[in-house]
A and B are shown apart, each in its own frame.
Chain A
Amino acid sequence: MECLISVKRTHTRKMETSGKTREAVLVKDFTVVPIKFEESSCACHNIYFKEHSLHREDTKPKGRTLFITNIPPYCTTEVLHRLFSQFGNIQAAFFSEDEKPQNKSRRNKIQLKNSFIENISTKGFKTAYVLYRDKNSIVRALKASYDKPFIISTPTQPVLTGLRKWQKEYEVKHTDWNELQEEIDEYMKGYDSSLSKKIEEEKEKEGVADEEGWVTVTKHGKLKPTSRTEVNQRKLTKKDRKKKKERELLNFYTFQIKQEKQDRIAALRQKFEEDKVKIAQMKSARKFKPY
């Protein structure tokens, strides 16, 4: 498919994809590289990458970071390492969803902690960043010649998908009582200390007036205030309304009686109108054809 003829084309290389000659190009700053799952796959995805050029961040320093998008879902960071290390030393590679490079030590603990947190990582086609140690690696990566598509799963470093992957996932599940207890204790310790700290702070404020003379009242003082919740507030307004109603007279003045009659007729009319609308609606839905 001889398709990419672009004004912005700066660079052209020939490459083989599934038997057809095809040109890999830089389109609008992006280098387009075909990538396929394994040697025998017949169709390729394209990954697009360019130098990361958005605002400076610590994790993605300018000049050393590669922005890569449209990475197939089965591609892992290990694969990214393998694919891009050919152009230079990689400091870190991570998907934009995870943001931070993973800390590999204490993996078991982290997994335990994660099991408490709902898994929110999105699957699908991903975007990733590769941080090189050296600025030149970027240039190399962008200018290298891609004779062949990237291969994700190689015989030496296979990527598991499908049944094998699910089987593997199934085997990982396991929880040890003691480890779990340890984690709980640790967390609760932290929680308790932060809680007592908060109480201390509140106690300190109790009864102390600020510059304008307002005194903070907390539940730790001698006079406990009613808590300011919605329920309590509603109770108050309800009381008010009730009182007001008790004072009113109903069906007392002639105008009230007349008004009531009028209201009744108006309500009837209103209902009649509504019914007509309903009928019109049913009519349009051909509701009146019995069979």
Chain B
Amino acid sequence: MGIKRQHTEVEHGEDDDNEIEEDEDILANLSAAHQREVTGEPAKKLTKKEREKLYKEPTVEELKQMKETENLFHSNLFRLQISEVLKEVTLKDKHKKYAHNLIDNLKEMILDIPASEQIRLTDTQWFLKQKVKVPIYQPDDDNKGQFQYLPPSSICVVGSYSTNTVVKPHSVIDLLVEMPKGCISEKDNFNHRLFRKRALYLTYVAAKLNKTTLCQAMKFTYQHGNHLKPILNLNVQGRSINVNIIVCLPHNTYKLETFNVNICNINVKWYKEITQAESKDDVRLKPTPYSNMAILEDLTQKTNTEYIENILADLPAFQDGIKLLKIWLRQRELDMGYGYFSSYIMTMYVMYLLSQRLLNKMMSSYQVFRSTLIYLARNDWCVKAPSLFKIKKSLNEKSSEFNMKSVFDVVFLDVTGHYNLAYTLNKAVYQRVLHEAKLSADYFTTKPNDAFDLLLMTSVAFDRKFDYCFHVDNLKSIQEHGDTLGGLDKLIDNGGNYVYAYLTSILDVLEKALDKRILLIQPRSLPTPTWNIDEDCSNYNDINCITIGLLVDTFMSTKSVEKGPTADSSEAREFREFWGEVSELRRFQDGSICEAIVWSKGSTFRKKRLVISKIIPYVLKKYAGIDLEDIRYMGEEFDVPLHIPFPKQIDQPIYGTGEEQHMSVIHTFDGIKKSLRGLSDMPLRINNIQGIHPVFRFTDVFPVMALNQFKETKKVNDHYYPTRSLVAPAYQPTLPVTCILEGSGKWPDDIEAVKRLKAAIYIKISKDLSLDKSLKVILQPTHIDIFKNGFVFRIKIYALRELSIMKAFVTKTGVLSVQNNQKSFQFEKDVIALPKLSSTIHGIYQQHNTMCSAVRLAKRWTSAQLLSNHVPDIVIELIVCYIYLSPAPYTKPGSPGSAFLRFLQLLSSFDWRNYPLMVDLNTEFTAEDLVDIPARFNKEREKFPLMFISTPMDKWSSYWTKDQPSAMILNRLALLAKESLHVLQTQVLQPQSNDDIKEVFRPPLDSYDVVIYLQANQVPRYYQSIDYPKDKPIPTLRSTDDQIFPVIDFDPVVKYVKELEEIYADRALFFYDQYGGTCIGVLWKPRLFQKRDFKVPNLLMSKPSTRGSEIVLEFNLQAVLEDFKVLGTNLVDKVEVKTQPKTDV
């Protein structure tokens, strides 16, 4: 016990005035060494002194601390991290002091407000004079009754401030102003009269406070987004403190039973518009649970608040634990808005767990946090409702819980047993909380190293969390479909707010319709409106758009046929009724005749992904009367950059977004593999044949099209050649294939001789293969090209022996030793690592069918930012793999779009300086690896490249990022990603009619010094460019069986950029887009325009100039610009200088 008390004091000394002291307390007694670290002195080797320090006799204090950390916290680091983040979110003492004064002042002011005269409830004239408007929207009613303002019976602070669980930056102080009993008359519980009085009371307070100078910005808003319950929000000028003034009904005026769930407190007649239409129904009295709960919320507030305060007052660890839980909720955007999981519910749940002895008072903040998440994940409130209500006297009470369950989806009973704390909580939102809690609870064990970041530091934004989302505009039509969605009673009960009333029903129908296709469905929280006190209150009918997110099951969601029950079964009728006219009888392959719906006839991946977008509008139209035009389904947008409208051709798959084309290449490749393996009497067997082009692993942005040029080429001896035409011949890349020969001891020790022998094998292979008439073989000394079905495969063979020859060298002492060098590194990378990685990525693709599009989007984007030659493609592929393999804190992306957004998010925020990116291919990293690699990386940071990606097969060598990208490019990438992410987020969450995803695929050109524009006709891949003119034809591609070898690898743009880079490597950087980009950006290297001394090394690209009387050299800009044109004769259109260089002397 002693130990634990000690701990709480150390951990939670925030009441101490001096924060520095607290800091030192936590960082404990070993501070001498700490100071050294902070001052930045390197501590590489232990000096004798340091050694002594490490080995000195431990003090009792220290042992205690260590033991606590072991017992109460996950790890030392976690403990320190938690204390840091708490420090960040906790209110500072000076702010507290200020807040304290403020509250006292406010209290005094409110108490000083004199009583008013009696006015009629509907009379608003009095308020108009005061320039305030009543913040409640009710139908023009004939509510009788009087209102008189009387000074409040009590004012007290409630909520997070009173329990010391405020979390910055949204720190608000809830000031509860209790109306005196005298304001309430007997029959006020009917027809929302209490809400009106509450609002009037608040308005009166607002009007009076408005005359004081204390508060500058006074606004009305809704309590938890509930439009029946306005509150007043005060913002104090110059301070980040907000005060909410909440008016509350006197707690002992009514018996709580008056507002039980099955009691009716609204007369239908009161809801005027309806009574005229349906006069015959006017006598019915249906229960009004929502309105009742909203009143009970007020009536029970005091009891519940006292309950929390009493418990939490002396449990600082719990206060901190609740703060952590709040951060967790907010990172997931779950605590704001109507129908959401407020932090109040969370606090109550912690109380509940404590009352059930599932938590105990000894626990540390970390344990409270962790255990609460675990219990949250394990218990479904929809099945077993938690309850803070202790004494179950009779069956009666139980039945009240039962009644609750029949009305509300989610139930959480409060201390009194009458009030459902979760009465507004939307079931879909609760499911999301459950889902997140399940994910999070696992991180403690599965990802112990990253848990802190994943749980508390990473925001799980709506657009990245959900695979697809759609927006429904123009919700008015829901009103007319009230009958199918829950009836008039619900509408009345919700005070006429049809969105709140019917949203749950709409979600239920959608969930039923989408069934197994989705894993989760959740509406996005509607922003709670705020408005100035002299403005009209916001009308709930103004809510004109709801956003719903879907998490899909990637395999089920793409099924284009919905198979129902067999025709003769009893469920068939129900099925037909639910789906209506789209359901029809179909005979299936297994002979059964079933009810079924065919949503899509196309078979491309692109079409399949859109099946859901067909179901949703149908269901919404049928059940809620929402028109197709009012639904905007976000998902198709991300296919646009990958889609090329190729004309349909015989023997060719429809292009769609290109997935199918990959397959057709691989199919041809399989044939070639077979031919190669079938070669007889080869001197050595071919052990391994692996295609290393992206197309073989489904990651080629625009997969190779089968092709045989006949346009813009000339034919000489069964070869096509480029001609001097004005249009470039179509581009056909060769597809590299690596073949590894079986091992043999007979290879010579001389690398040149090995090359000759390999050439001899090439001759043999090409002689053998040319007997096959379906393909054409072209021999080169270093490889062979095979032309088949319109694709060209470039075969290179290797013997592993080559590697040992490259590495071998004889040391001075005569020992034969191996040493890595540039050549061997390149060999390992190209011949061993790349084929292996290729097949692994192919394997990952087979598990995640959306990855193909996601990788290609990411690559397309990177290239579109003109970074084709600065970021290796394989790096982008690895990053996208990471997003699929380590999706935490999300789940695996189920759409290319969500994966792409997460990719941008990662690029924009990843801290490459301090962390390695651990891509756990095939989950082969061991637990030690996950600790050791980052640790060693941190220790020996300089030894690793700027961007360090580690995979289980390539833990340390970082083959792919060794040379590129540079620091500048990495920064630029992050910046561009941030911009693009921002644009896309807005497009996904608040779509406008003129939105265009292409916007983020257009490079900004203003940051370059010079831009070289190319002639589009000479850019062979121009048709792939993002803004290819619609009226221009796509170059016809034709697959023929004729034997003329096409023009291969002939892309003038690539050649041009390569030449520029070779010539001007140390003067400028060049940026281009390999996918049909028609401009090249040039950035001069820094200090290029400085004048230099007249010395031989400085002569290149210079012209003489003067500095005073001295002759010096300066960069010959004009001539170099002229060179750009000369080197790209017939390709370059114009060279434009964007920024005039400053010549500094």
On whether the beta carbons of A162 and B914 are closer than 8 Å, the reply is: no
Flag whether B529 is at the interface (Cβ < 8 A). Answer: no
Cα of A200 to Cα of B236 in the assembled complex, Å:
98
On whether the beta carbons of B1018 and A27 are closer than 8 Å, the reply is: no
Query: Which B residues between 804 and 819 are near A, CB-CB below 8 angstroms?
Result: 814-818
Flag whether A175 is at the interface (Cβ < 8 A). Answer: yes
On whether the beta carbons of B781 and A161 are closer than 8 Å, the reply is: no
What chain B residues lie within 8 Å of A281 (beta carbons)? Answer: 914
Query: Considering only CB atoms, which chain B residue lies closest to A111 in the complex?
Result: B781
Q: From residue A280, how far is it (CB to closest CB) to chain B in Å?
A: 6
On whether the beta carbons of B1065 and A268 are closer than 8 Å, the reply is: no
Query: Which of the residues B1094, B1116, B1130 comes within 8 Å of A27, measured between beta carbons?
Result: B1094
On whether the beta carbons of B782 and A116 are closer than 8 Å, the reply is: yes
Flag whether A100 is at the interface (Cβ < 8 A). Answer: no
Cα of A81 to Cα of B41 in the assembled complex, Å:
63
Q: Interface digits, A14-37 against B, CB 8 Å rule (1 contact, 0 not)? A: 000000000001011010100011
On whether the beta carbons of A73 and B1063 are closer than 8 Å, the reply is: yes
What chain A residues lie within 8 Å of B38 (beta carbons)? Answer: 280
On whether the beta carbons of B85 and A4 are closer than 8 Å, the reply is: no
On whether the beta carbons of A291 and B331 are closer than 8 Å, the reply is: yes
Cα of A285 to Cα of B722 in the assembled complex, Å:
55
Flag whether A77 is at the interface (Cβ < 8 A). Answer: no
On whether the beta carbons of A116 and B818 are closer than 8 Å, the reply is: no
On whether the beta carbons of B752 and A187 are closer than 8 Å, the reply is: yes
Query: Which of the residues B76, B760, B914, B1109 comes within 8 Å of A272, measured between beta carbons?
Result: B76
Cα of A25 to Cα of B1119 in the assembled complex, Å:
19
On whether the beta carbons of A5 and B1109 are closer than 8 Å, the reply is: yes
Query: Considering only CB atoms, which chain B residue lies closest to A259 in the complex?
Result: B55
Flag whether A227 is at the interface (Cβ < 8 A). Answer: yes
On whether the beta carbons of B1119 and A4 are closer than 8 Å, the reply is: no
Number of interface residues of B (CB under 8 A): 92
On whether the beta carbons of A229 and B816 are closer than 8 Å, the reply is: yes
Query: Which of the residues A70, A262, A272 comes within 8 Å of B1100, measured between beta carbons?
Result: A70
Flag whether B1128 is at the interface (Cβ < 8 A). Answer: yes
**Given A42-B1122, A280-B38, do A163 and B1018 touch, yes or no (CB 8 Å)?**
yes
Cα of A186 to Cα of B89 in the assembled complex, Å:
79
Cα of A229 to Cα of B804 in the assembled complex, Å:
12
Query: Considering only CB atoms, which chain A residue lies closest to B762 in the complex?
Result: A180
Q: Interface digits, A39-78 against B, CB 8 Å rule (1 contact, 0 not)? A: 0011111101000000000000000000001101110000
Flag whether B1104 is at the interface (Cβ < 8 A). Answer: yes
What chain A residues lie within 8 Å of B1109 (beta carbons)? Answer: 5
On whether the beta carbons of B1103 and A46 are closer than 8 Å, the reply is: yes
Cα of A5 to Cα of B1112 in the assembled complex, Å:
11
On whether the beta carbons of B815 and A112 are closer than 8 Å, the reply is: no
Flag whether A230 is at the interface (Cβ < 8 A). Answer: yes
Query: Which B residues between 490 and 539 are near A, CB-CB below 8 angstroms?
Result: none
Flag whether A167 is at the interface (Cβ < 8 A). Answer: yes
Cα of A276 to Cα of B38 in the assembled complex, Å:
9
**Given A41-B1126, A69-B1096, A287-B457, do A180 and B779 touch, yes or no (CB 8 Å)?**
yes
Query: Which B residues between 710 and 763 are near A, CB-CB below 8 angstroms?
Result: 721-724, 748, 750, 752-753, 755-757, 759-760, 763
Query: Which of the residues B779, B1050, B1056, B1129 comes within 8 Å of A177, measured between beta carbons?
Result: B779
**Given A45-B1116, A162-B1129, A291-B330, do A175 and B1100 touch, yes or no (CB 8 Å)?**
no
On whether the beta carbons of B1055 and A166 are closer than 8 Å, the reply is: yes
What chain A residues lie within 8 Å of B456 (beta carbons)? Answer: 290
Query: Considering only CB atoms, which chain B residue lies closest to A6 in the complex?
Result: B1111
What chain B residues lie within 8 Å of A275 (beta carbons)? Answer: 76-77, 80
Flag whether B1059 is at the interface (Cβ < 8 A). Answer: yes
Flag whether B425 is at the interface (Cβ < 8 A). Answer: no
On whether the beta carbons of A115 and B816 are closer than 8 Å, the reply is: no
Flag whether A283 is at the interface (Cβ < 8 A). Answer: yes
Query: Which B residues between 1110 and 1132 are near A, CB-CB below 8 angstroms?
Result: 1111, 1116, 1118-1119, 1121-1123, 1126-1132
Query: Which of the residues B37, B760, B1126, B1127 comes within 8 Å of A184, measured between beta carbons?
Result: B760
Query: Considering only CB atoms, which chain A residue lies closest to B84 in the complex?
Result: A288
On whether the beta carbons of B1111 and A4 are closer than 8 Å, the reply is: yes
On whether the beta carbons of A271 and B331 are closer than 8 Å, the reply is: no
Flag whether B1099 is at the interface (Cβ < 8 A). Answer: yes
What chain A residues lie within 8 Å of B816 (beta carbons)? Answer: 227-230
Flag whether B1105 is at the interface (Cβ < 8 A). Answer: yes
Flag whether B932 is at the interface (Cβ < 8 A). Answer: no
On whether the beta carbons of B722 and A167 are closer than 8 Å, the reply is: yes
Flag whether B33 is at the interface (Cβ < 8 A). Answer: yes
On whether the beta carbons of B1128 and A162 are closer than 8 Å, the reply is: yes
Q: From residue B320, how far is it (CB to closest CB) to chain A in Å?
A: 14
What chain A residues lie within 8 Å of B1116 (beta carbons)? Answer: 43, 45-46
Flag whether A270 is at the interface (Cβ < 8 A). Answer: yes
**Given A116-B752, A162-B1130, A164-B1130, do A4 and B817 touch, yes or no (CB 8 Å)?**
no
What chain A residues lie within 8 Å of B1050 (beta carbons)? Answer: 166, 170
Q: Interface digits, A143-172 against B, CB 8 Å rule (1 contact, 0 not)? A: 000000000000000000111101100110
**Given A41-B1122, A42-B1122, do A70 and B1101 touch, yes or no (CB 8 Å)?**
yes
Cα of A270 to Cα of B939 in the assembled complex, Å:
14
On whether the beta carbons of B781 and A4 are closer than 8 Å, the reply is: no
Cα of A63 to Cα of B767 in the assembled complex, Å:
56
What's the interface size class on A, roughly? 35 or more
What chain B residues lie within 8 Å of A183 (beta carbons)? Answer: 756
What chain B residues lie within 8 Å of A209 (beta carbons)? Answer: none
Query: Which B residues between 1030 and 1076 are near A, CB-CB below 8 angstroms?
Result: 1047, 1050, 1052, 1055-1056, 1059, 1062-1065
What chain B residues lie within 8 Å of A279 (beta carbons)? Answer: 77, 80-81, 84
On whether the beta carbons of A187 and B815 are closer than 8 Å, the reply is: no
**Given A180-B763, A228-B814, do A266 and B54 touch, yes or no (CB 8 Å)?**
yes
What chain B residues lie within 8 Å of A250 (beta carbons)? Answer: none
Flag whether B66 is at the interface (Cβ < 8 A). Answer: yes
Cα of A291 to Cα of B456 in the assembled complex, Å:
10
Cα of A170 to Cα of B720 in the assembled complex, Å:
10
What chain B residues lie within 8 Å of A291 (beta carbons)? Answer: 169, 330-331, 459
On whether the beta carbons of A180 and B781 are closer than 8 Å, the reply is: yes
Cα of A4 to Cα of B760 in the assembled complex, Å:
62
Query: Considering only CB atoms, which chain B residue lies closest to A45 in the complex?
Result: B1119
On whether the beta carbons of A230 and B781 are closer than 8 Å, the reply is: no
Q: Which of A162, A184, A283: most chain B CB closer than 10 A?
A: A162
**Given A124-B1063, A228-B815, A228-B816, do A276 and B1127 touch, yes or no (CB 8 Å)?**
no
Query: Considering only CB atoms, which chain A residue lies closest to B1116 in the complex?
Result: A45
Query: Which of the residues B37, B76, B88, B1118 comes within 8 Å of A290, measured between beta carbons?
Result: B88
Q: From residue A122, how far is it (CB to closest CB) to chain B in Å?
A: 8
Query: Which of the residues A163, A278, A290 comes within 8 Å of B331, measured between beta carbons?
Result: A290
What chain B residues lie within 8 Å of A229 (beta carbons)? Answer: 815-817
Flag whether A188 is at the interface (Cβ < 8 A). Answer: yes
What chain A residues lie within 8 Å of B766 (beta carbons)? Answer: 177
Flag whether B327 is at the interface (Cβ < 8 A). Answer: yes
Q: From residue A150, how far is it (CB to closest CB) to chain B in Å?
A: 13
What chain A residues lie within 8 Å of B185 (beta carbons)? Answer: none
Flag whether B74 is at the interface (Cβ < 8 A). Answer: no
Flag whether A249 is at the interface (Cβ < 8 A). Answer: no
Flag whether B61 is at the interface (Cβ < 8 A). Answer: no
Flag whether A265 is at the interface (Cβ < 8 A). Answer: yes
Query: Which of the residues A30, A116, A272, A288 comes within 8 Å of B781, measured between beta carbons?
Result: A116
Flag whether B27 is at the interface (Cβ < 8 A). Answer: yes
On whether the beta carbons of A171 and B1018 are closer than 8 Å, the reply is: no
On whether the beta carbons of B1118 and A269 are closer than 8 Å, the reply is: no
Cα of A125 to Cα of B1102 in the assembled complex, Å:
11
Flag whether B273 is at the interface (Cβ < 8 A). Answer: no
> 10 additional contacts, CB 8 Å, given A164-B1130, A290-B330?
A45-B1119, A162-B1126, A170-B722, A181-B763, A184-B760, A191-B756, A230-B818, A276-B27, A280-B37, A282-B84
Top 8 closest pairs, chain A to chain B, by CB = A162-B1129, A43-B1118, A163-B1130, A43-B1122, A123-B1062, A266-B54, A230-B817, A229-B816
15 A-B residue pairings within 8 Å (CB atoms): A3-B1105, A27-B1094, A28-B1094, A42-B1118, A43-B1116, A115-B780, A115-B781, A116-B759, A162-B1128, A177-B766, A181-B763, A187-B756, A195-B748, A278-B938, A290-B331
